[in-house]
Structure 1
Amino acid sequence: MDRKKILEEGLLEKYLLDELSAEERQQVGMAIDNDKGLKKQFELLEEDFEKMALENAIDPPTRVKMRLIEQLQGSNVKTMPKTWLYAAASLALLFLLSSFWMFNRWKSAELNFESLQNQTTVLQERLNALEENYLLTNQRLKTINGPQTIPLILHGNELVPNSRAVAYVNHENKMVVVNAQGLPELPENNTYQMWSDVDGEMINMGLLPTDQELITLKYIDKAESLNITIEPAGGNDHPTVEKLIAYVTL
């Protein structure tokens, strides 16, 4: 068994906690014996466990300690065999390892719960976004299908032949929705922009991305025509007349 697998899967800790199968324990034990780096890390892990045991040890009350000394001094108690000392130490170490194992399991459960909370938050945000998109799309469809809505087709000229955009104008609700997917895709440094002609003045209505089915634009009162031009990416504050590609009168 290689070092990488042992370290990534925490097999040193499981080896110390006796959580491995007999075959895995034998493989990890051989790896520790043959790899000085692993052996040193395992020894450091043992030292950390011992330090944790000492740091978490509880001193007995003073009166208990004094009473035990009096009883030992007033009797012929023999020295406790080392076997019992080893047994007591083993039990203490086992308790410590069990506590460490439980602590790791608790931390793992806490991390999993936090991850689930984050996933729930992300899903809720996506659901809210979908709901907003649905409401917006539903509103646009109602506008398009309303009896007061006028559909206007803007055919492309020689700059973009065989192309078209459809504008849905509702003067009652003062709304303009445009489907620009019939226009050819432009390079990244260009974009389509729509303008309203009011008494000879071109007023910006907004950009026309071709990757969206319906785009809501600014409604302009008393517009005499709708015009589409090709502008630099991000739009322009005035229309580029020589790049007028489509228009329709109202």
Structure 2
Amino acid sequence: MMEKKKILEEGLLELYLTGELSEELTTAVEDALKQDESLKEHFDVLEADFERMGMEQAITPPLIVKERIKNVIRQPEIKKTSWLPLSIAAGFALVFGLSTFWLYVKWQDAESDLNTLQLQTSQLQQQVDELESEFRLTANRLENINNPDVVPLVLYGNQKAPNGKAIAFINHKSQLVFVNPKGLPVLPKDKTYQMWSDVNGEMINMGVVPTDKELVTLKYIENAESLNLTVEPAGGSEHPTVEELISNVII
């Protein structure tokens, strides 16, 4: 038996209604209608729609046809042939209705495909914009790091983080500070790294240092004598937790 999916996708029910199928396909469709109740219900609905559209699209015959019908009523002997013009008109109306319905379905499918394509294009453009933004940011940071005025400083972990390492890049001329934290151990969610500058014995906050970024921009502190890295509660602290100091380096 021919599959229901094939019949629906290839529009065989519509072609069956209009008598445009070959004898072999006609037999196959009729067998499928007999054996598949859901397909038969779909066909009945389609047939009813076609009949309704045929009536809606029916063309009003010209007045001459009306006069001929009156003559036929007066001449019963040729009554059978007098309905031919109306049959032809109704046939054309049905074919027109079927064609209109078929084109409408195709138009709806094309519109749906167009909307999907537009959405995909919009999402792709957004991704491209995000990549361009990230590229510009990375290129800018690399340019700042490779600047001859930049001083790189390595912060090695102490006994609290023996395998930890972070690299700071300081440009005193442009007053920029970047830190690469990728060598630091990952902390629990309720903890964070925080950098401090030592200025005449006073620890000044430079900002928190998340480990999920390649480069972190920190606040530049003038006259800093050293950089100091501590572990603080998530969000950072106003004052450094001295016992949680894991690294420091002299500037």
TM-score normalised by length of structure 1: 0.79
* Length, aligned pairs only: 243
Mark the CA change 1:43 to 1:145 in structure 2 (over 3 Å): closer, same or farther. same
Tell me by how many angstroms 1:181 deviates: 1.1
Tell me by how many angstroms 1:199 deviates: 4.6
Mark the CA change 1:216 to 1:71 in structure 2 (over 3 Å): closer, same or farther. same
**8 Å Cα contact 2:203/2:239 also seen in 1:** yes
Q: Which amino acid aligns with 2:4?
A: I
Structure 2 equivalent of residue 205 of structure 1: 206
Structure 2 equivalent of residue 6 of structure 1: 4
**8 Å Cα contact 1:196/1:204 also seen in 2:** yes
Structure 1 equivalent of residue 13 of structure 2: 16
TM-superposition CA deviations, 1:69-103 (whole Å, max 9, x none): 44554686743546765555444323222222222
Structure 1 equivalent of residue 195 of structure 2: 194
Unaligned runs of 5+ in 1: none
Tell me by how many angstroms 1:170 deviates: 0.8
Q: Distance in 2 between matches of 1:32 and 1:100?
A: 22
Matches within 5 A, 1:48-67: 48-57=49-58, 59=60, 64-65=62-63
Q: Which amino acid aligns with 1:209?
A: P
Q: Which amino acid aligns with 1:117?
A: Q
**8 Å Cα contact 1:189/1:232 also seen in 2:** yes
**8 Å Cα contact 2:13/2:29 also seen in 1:** no
Mark the CA change 1:145 to 1:208 in structure 2 (over 3 Å): closer, same or farther. same
Tell me by how many angstroms 1:218 deviates: 2.5
Tell me by how many angstroms 1:163 deviates: 1.9
Structure 2 equivalent of residue 32 of structure 1: 33
Where 1:79 maps in the other structure, the secondary structure is: helix
Structure 1 equivalent of residue 108 of structure 2: 107
Mark the CA change 1:35 to 1:108 in structure 2 (over 3 Å): closer, same or farther. closer
The answer to whether the aligner puts 1:216 opposite 2:217 as a matched pair is yes
**8 Å Cα contact 2:59/2:89 also seen in 1:** no
Q: Which amino acid aligns with 1:6?
A: K
Structure 2 equivalent of residue 244 of structure 1: 245
The answer to whether the aligner puts 1:79 opposite 2:76 as a matched pair is no
Q: Which amino acid aligns with 1:51?
A: R
Structure 1 equivalent of residue 163 of structure 2: 162
TM-superposition CA deviations, 1:223-248 (whole Å, max 9, x none): 33322222334444443332221122
**8 Å Cα contact 1:6/1:28 also seen in 2:** no
Structure 1 equivalent of residue 146 of structure 2: 145
The answer to whether the aligner puts 1:171 opposite 2:175 as a matched pair is no
Q: Distance in 2 between matches of 1:153 and 1:33?
A: 82
**8 Å Cα contact 1:12/1:28 also seen in 2:** no
Where 1:210 maps in the other structure, the secondary structure is: coil
Unaligned runs of 5+ in 2: none
Mark the CA change 1:51 to 1:200 in structure 2 (over 3 Å): closer, same or farther. farther
TM-superposition CA deviations, 1:85-138 (whole Å, max 9, x none): 555544432322222222222222222222222222222222222221121111
**8 Å Cα contact 1:190/1:233 also seen in 2:** yes
Q: Distance in 1 between matches of 2:105 and 2:155?
A: 67
